[in-house]
Amino acid sequence: MEGGNSPNLQLQQLPLATAAVSVQPHTDSFSYKENLIGALLAIFGHLVISIALNLQKYSHIRLAGSKDLRAYFKTKTWWCGLFLLMLGELGVFSSYAFAPLSLIVPLSAVSVIASAIIGIIFIKEKWKPKDFLRRYVLSFVGCGLAIVGTYLLITFGPNSHEKMTGENITRHLVSWPFLLYMLVEIIVFCLLLYFYKEKNVNYIVVILLLVALLGSMTAVTVKAVAGMIVVSIQGNLQLDYPIFYIMLVCMIATAIFQATFLAQASQLYDSSQIASIGYILSTTVAITAGATFYLDFTGEDVLHICMFALGCLIAFLGVFLITRNRKKSVPFEPYISMDAMPGMQNMHDKGIAVQPDLKASFSYGALENNDTMPEIYTPATLPIVQEQHGSKGVSAPPYRVLEHSKKE
């Protein structure tokens, strides 16, 4: 009986074992395929965005250097750049529906790489080979490091996938890791905003950290909106869930405030500093948000996590080297130092030049009416020495006599 029943038992257990073995590799290969599709869409999108921005910049420069009086939006080059910009943004938006958030966000380094290469190719000056290599060696090294970091990010990126349905997003939204993360982020954001607005703490790290905190919420909501749209296209309608419109409104609001803080930072600091520091802070905060909301690194082994972190660090270093090599713009000073003019007598103590205050006016104060101006903006005067002339009956002149000693 035992010998006759054993083949039946083996035949009954064989389909179960075969099914268990065949499903798991198919799921892994499909998820890696989705990672690759999402990464390629993100790389394509960032590359096209970089080309589009340079096209629009080229359109402005060409109009400024010519006698053409047309507005920039009436040129074909600018409209071509706008079309490519929308195409690139669509590619980046679609990439969030296929790959994890923690994989897509660091790939924005492709924009920095492409901008550096385009800037070197379209440079107008002719350099000798030695001068060219010495000037752009940091850019070449930075591009190489950023490419290596991008490869490590794609190879060892997180491999967690789930359908972006309304139920899944709502479940993630009320999970305790994300609620704790949101509490910490709101407290940090309010503190930074208080010091920035009330205490006038205008450090670049403060402003870009505000941008990064808003950007992390933008990335979370973009993945939710893009994922629900893709699931709806596949036949499972998700647009009737209220969570879709909540995420859509949050995505638009955070993107607008993020652009506002970026505009304020661009008025205070150089674009190269904003690009490097902003990339590092935004990527770090967005990866943290993806790990807490979508649980991107759940089930990943230590080796993959360490290699992914190494790829991020290498990409950070590459972007920093690329942006560090850019020439910093020198602000225009709308005045001339009086002591720098040939033949002009030095009229101030200890060689300190008297310059106009840009917040008040460009006048040096000789003919300025100071009755309505604050004390801090009133022009500096030289020591006053009043001389007694004549008798007591002679009235003093209606003006003050200023004297100063001449240094031989």
Q: What is 270-324 written as a DSSP string? A: -HHHHHHHHHHHHHHHHHHHHHHHS-TTTT--HHHHHHHHHHHHHHHHHHHHHHH
- Of 237, 243, 219, nearest to 97 by C-alpha is 219
In the chain, DSSP finds a helix count (H) and a strand count (E) of 11, 0
pLDDT value at residue 224: 94
Spell out the residues 6+ positions from residue 194 whose beta carbon is closer than 8 angstroms to its own: none
pLDDT value at residue 22: 32
Report if residue 220 sits inside a domain.
yes
Total number of domains in the chain? 1
Task: Fill in the DSSP letter of residue 376.
Answer: G
pLDDT value at residue 361: 38
Residue type, 100: P
Report if residue 194 sits inside a domain.
yes
Spell out the residues 6+ positions from residue 324 whose beta carbon is closer than 8 angstroms to its own: 138, 142, 272, 276
123 — phi, psi (to 5°)?
A: -70, 140
Structure tokens belonging to residue 332:
């225009």
Query: The whole model's pTM is what?
Result: 0.70
| HSE-CB for 236 with a 13 A CA cutoff | 9
pLDDT value at residue 21: 31
| HSE-CB for 316 with a 13 A CA cutoff | 13
Distance CA 311, CA 305 (A): 10
Report if residue 248 sits inside a domain.
yes
- Maximum CA pair distance of the chain? 145
The 10s digit of each residue's pLDDT in 159-195 is 888 889 999 999 999 999 999 999 999 999 999 999 9
Inter-CA distances, 351 with 81, 343, 346, 348, Å: 52, 15, 7, 6
Report if residue 47 sits inside a domain.
no
354 touches 339 (CB < 8 A): no
- Of 103, 95, 111, 99, nearest to 146 by C-alpha is 111
Report if residue 300 sits inside a domain.
no
The 10s digit of each residue's pLDDT in 75-107 is 888 889 899 999 999 999 999 999 999 999 999
- Domain that residue 179 falls in: 162-295
Report if residue 227 sits inside a domain.
yes
Report if residue 189 sits inside a domain.
yes
Spell out the residues 6+ positions from residue 26 whose beta carbon is closer than 8 angstroms to its own: none
| pLDDT in single tens digits along all 408 residues of the chain | 444 444 444 434 434 333 333 333 334 455 688 888 999 999 999 999 999 988 888 888 778 767 767 777 778 888 898 999 999 999 999 999 999 999 999 999 998 888 888 877 765 545 556 666 666 788 888 899 999 999 999 989 888 888 899 999 999 999 999 999 999 999 999 999 999 999 888 999 999 999 999 999 999 999 999 999 999 998 888 899 999 999 999 999 999 999 999 999 988 998 888 989 999 999 999 999 999 999 989 888 899 999 999 999 999 999 998 888 665 544 444 444 444 445 444 444 444 444 444 444 333 333 334 444 444 444 444 454 455 554 444 455 554 444 444 444
Report if residue 271 sits inside a domain.
yes
Structure tokens belonging to residue 398:
């209606």
